[in-house]
Structure 1
Amino acid sequence: MKKILFVFALFGTLACNNSPEENSVNTETPEVASEEKDTIPNFGIVIHGGAGTILKENMSDSLEQEYKSKLEEAVRAGHAVLERGGTSIEAIEQAINIMENSPLFNAGKGAVFTNAGTNELDAAVMDGETLNAGAVAGVTTVKNPIDLAIAVMKNSEHVMMIGEGAETFAEEQGMELVDPEYFFTENRFKSLQRIKDSEKTQLDHDDQKTAFLDPYIKDSKFGTVGAAALDKQGNLAAGTSTGGMTNKRWGRVGDVPVIGAGTYANNKTAAISGTGWGEFFIRGVVAYDISALMEYKGLSLQEAAEEVIQKKNVELGGNGGIIAIDHQGNVAMEFNTAGMYRAKMNRNGELEIGIYGEEE
């Protein structure tokens, strides 16, 4: 009997000695994994490729796939920079370069034409940590205007440079310069001709104001590419690049290079890049207004974006959209047009791509 009791006692002791170790493996491993995940610094990137009357019924399956593939390529490139510890400035530059080099978007290679049949490009960048910024306007030979905007920010005491002076600076900085013919694309040139023909027809029959009712002219104000990012160091940055408005005259400059209008970043709030009818983004100081509503009124990024894009911009008479990321990694992709080319990726590598409106 004593032997039996001894065996049971020994078995019980062994069971008691083993179970805590087993339990520690089963219960602590998920907690450790969760803690390790929480120690990964937050980061993310969001991009846009322009907003406007973008309707699925007007888009072929092949063209839709082209846009989605290029958006994915751009956002993944920026995300890769962030993932390996690169800065938010470096990330947005990588993403925007890819879109500038594609004829799909109204920036760089795919820039629209002015009334004179030329291509005049604008770009801007802002560092949310220092509030330093750089911008260029009306350049015609710089392959990647966002690179020049960054050079203005980093390597000069100025914020904005224009035209020939900006191109001289670009040459001194070793930027890649191209012949203006590089920016020629057949579809953009045909768009200019359609707008001119439509404008002339309407002006022949009605007063000048009716020219602005034509759908080609209305959408000629949209385009632009942009990116906003939060890096592992907690710093925000935003950048935007555009060919401007189709059929623009007299050296017109839109909102993109106007800091606070189409581009803004502040570590206290968010990094924002806009796309839309530039004149109204300038008048409404759209990008800064979103930041100000967050800083002074305590609104969330999404609340501020909705207030500005869905209410204030519309009441003013403008339209377009923004992409933004705040200092906590929250993202907004808000627009009041039929569609906006857009994509985002977070620290977990989760990808989201969109083109059209609510149906997505």
Structure 2
Amino acid sequence: MKPVKSAILACGLIALSSAACAEITITDLRDRTVTLDAPAERVLLGFYYEDYLAVAGDGAVDKIVGLSRGPWAGWRPGQWEAYTQTFPQLANLPDVGDTESSTFSIEAALSTDPDLVILAGWQYDALGESVQQFDTAGIPVLVLDYNAQTLAAHLASTRALGQAMGAEDRAETLATLYAEMTADTAARVAASTEQPKVYVELAQKGPDEVGNSYAGGMWGGVIDRLNGRNIANGQIENWGPLSPEYVLAEAPEVILLSGSEWLNRPAAVPMGFGADKALAQVRIDAYMGRPGWSDLPAVQNGKVFGIYHGGSRTLSDFAYFRFLGKALHPEAFADVDPQAELTQFYVDWLPIKPEGTFVIQAE
């Protein structure tokens, strides 16, 4: 018998107060009404792994009964390794597949006997009508959306997760922290008159092949919010490479290379968990050695930065935004230490230390 069903039975047998046995009603990030009989005890976790752990707090790992493992172990292998070293049981949890590779199995998910399924908005959308199988089985599905990259969506996702896990106070404290840091960042940007030209590139393929840049969303959206002039705006829709000639002609004053823990990418800029700072510098040097780059203002003025690609669209992303804010508006952010803020977030809210290289200013 599931714990949630036991709780319902207990309410009926011993006549607990109506407040103690009240249903939990949540509006999720697809504007759906989700009803739980009690805080979740058996969670099928599709995405937002660190956000779940931050909000749910102590014992959160023990409540996970299955994972969509690919987006964690495959996309962020360094992060996955860090968590499985601390919590080896994660590696033994059932993997239900992932929507990106069209391997997500509703049947496998149901076999884990969850009392709550947590999905990212993009996962829910990809599953389409098949997600109704959870409804048929009486399993509530909670949709979160940190990928929306808006303050409202971050706060709503955090509070919804807190309701579902019986951690409303913890979630509200996190939401308040995020809102305050976002407001402080916005105030500093508003006080600055600088509007530097910015070029961002996904540094996955190495300097011999041009990686994607971003406009509107992902790092492009962040640059817009930080009052930078993103040279990708008007050139691409969402993401895609910019021509080398265009980049040189635009003469960016700040260059951002987004790196990660990618496997089998020998020329990529390594960033994130377990990433070596010296190696990141060597790989960034290779990018700065591209034809014509030595004449770019960003290179000449030491304004080339590396950032962890997994640092966006999560509760800790305020620290990465402040790192970029400092890159674009150094005087306005002179007293801000984004690396220290990121480290403190992990100390306060997550069960592991962020060991690796998450942000770097190239020498």
Indicate the TM-score class for this superposition, using the shorter chain for normalisation: under 0.3
Answer 1 or 2: which has greater strand percent.
1
Q: Normalised by the size of structure 1, how large is the TM-score?
A: 0.25
Q: Which has the larger radius of gyration?
A: 1
Query: Which gives a bigger RCO, structure 1 or 2 (Cα 8 Å, sep 6+)?
Result: 1
